[in-house]
Amino acid sequence: LFRHYALNVPFYTHFTSPIRRYADVIVHRLLSASLGASSPIKMDKEAIQRQADHCNDRKMASKRVQELSSDLFFSIFVRVRA
């Protein structure tokens, strides 16, 4: 029931594509290990937390840059049309 055909993995829960998001790869590995479908991840809790914090920081920075980019291009558009 949880198999992903294209990735050929026995357990798969969709968040976003794990091919594009390192954070999802970690989540899938943790979930798989917690279900007993794979061996435990060889990282301590603090290292996993640092990775999660880093991924969240990068996501928020990316979102902020996207917003600033939209503001910049809208400002240029308004300026050119004025």
φ and ψ at 19, to 5 degrees?
A: -70, -30
Q: How many domains does the chain have?
A: 2
On whether the CB atoms of residues 48 and 30 are closer than 8 A, the answer is yes
Task: Give the span between the Cα atoms of 5 and 59, in whole angstroms.
Answer: 28
Residues 50 and 68 in one domain: yes
Q: What is the mean pLDDT of residues 36-57?
A: 90
Residues 28 and 61 in one domain: no
Amino acid at 48: I
| Global confidence as pTM | 0.60
Q: Which residue has the higher pLDDT, 39 or 19?
A: 39
**Res. 72 pLDDT band, cuts 50 70 90:** very high
Residues 34 and 52 in one domain: no
Burial class of 2 by CB neighbour count within 10 A (0 to 12, 13 to 18, 19+): exposed
% of the chain exceeding 90 in pLDDT: 34
**Res. 29 pLDDT band, cuts 50 70 90:** confident
